[in-house]
Structure 1
Amino acid sequence: MKGFFDEVRANLRSPVLLAAWGFMTAMMALAGPFGSYEQIALPRRLIVWLGLTALAIVLATAVRVVVYSRWQLRDFWRGGTVTSALSVAILAPVLRHMAEVAGDAYLIVPPGLVEIAGFVFCLTMGFCAFRHALETVPPAAARAALPMAPADPALPRLADRLPEGLRAPVLRVSGRDHYVEVATAAGVASLLMRFSDALAELDGVDGLQVHRSHWVAARAVAGGGRDGAKMVLRLTDGGQVPVSRTHLAAVQARGWLDQT
């Protein structure tokens, strides 16, 4: 649970969310949905939507961490849709109750639950699309058209595919369906590519494939041992990866299971 809250806090510290909060607040206050444009003055609408958008962003971020990190639904259509649907289930009843309470004072006809649900779903999908667009690496053709920054000779080719802020020593690579999750010293990103192709672009980084879907760098290993019926490696970031029987001998030869 601590890891979940740490990840949520890390996401909420992103300047992207601060920009999204300001943009969404301004957009909602100026648009005045649900009849609030006629009934509530602009300064009060700003205050109301400042709080509502903050609540929506915190909730959507927490749900997104569960969907993207815990359930591994990292592509936009699956991850965004599930995140939006769960946000609707949690937030729509709360907003409906708030609309009923405020209806007599501010609104001629408070919006119905279906109307609010559609509004929350569209808003959350827009939020997920915004995040996905910023976190997704452009296609190869688009990258070729961009000015190329000098490559860091200490980093493998795989790092060139990552967003600029995440280009750091690679700690772990994991295969997830058609994606690979690349963890570096600066954070985690998902790339649309095959696991085998990602390993080919590590360019001799000291590490080892420990499972059919997991590769770890030597610098990322904190120790290892048995977790129930399976062998695992503990990583310096607090996570762990399984060790398959196929790769167990190679892991033992590196002495990683003997580390404490």
Structure 2
Amino acid sequence: MDLDATRTALERLGLDYVAAGLEDFINEAVKDNLPPHRLLDKLLALEHTQREERRVRTSLKLSGLPPGLTLANFDWSFQPGIEKNRIESLATCAFIREHETCLICGPPGVGKTHLAVALGVRAIENGFSVAFYRLEDLLHTMKQDADIAPRRLRGKKYLNVSLLIVDEVGFQPMTRQEAILFFRLVSYRYQRGATIITTNKPVKDWPEVLAGDEVMAAALLDRLLHRCHVLNIKGRSYRLKELEKLLR
């Protein structure tokens, strides 16, 4: 068998992982007396696995998600008030397919960002595009893009990703310009894409977040809360728990 020619053909087909280990794969198949069709099945499965792992790594990097926050390492015992079954339901990504919203509310340090990011990771693993922004960074980006023609603006990932995650809404009030930009974003994504928002403010206090504009807040919440999964987290702060450990 001319392995060099086979390897070259595999590389031309984009099967780089199989091409790189071709000789070892064949030797192992001969040793295990593997039929040709079983070898082919194995090679295709290996190539698919490698491509999927590469896709996930690339998507995680492009998403802006903070690393290391998954559902597997979330401390459920520290926040027993969280309904784990609701999080597991969200982790099926059905709400993304339905272009729904998830609002995660609670005081600082209770795990809102961790859960939002973990759901973003699960979304990427399930093949969805994801973008993560802290509100301050998102508003800065949108202000820079404010003069771009609408046709070109549609290419921005905060508009067209399957799942947009906006973290830390409510930590400081928006200016009038920022509130208008945020309202336009929510309006554009309404029933077009899924959104997760974390906030330390109950929805009744959102007018003060949106530059004191009660009319705009009502219109925005009307869109956000339609087909929305609201999670209210009440509990101790993880960060204070870690600080207490250090001070002992």
Q: What TM-score does the superposition give when structure 2 sets the normalisation length?
A: 0.30
Q: What TM-score does the superposition give when structure 1 sets the normalisation length?
A: 0.29
The structure with higher relative contact order (CA 8 Å, sep 6+) is 2
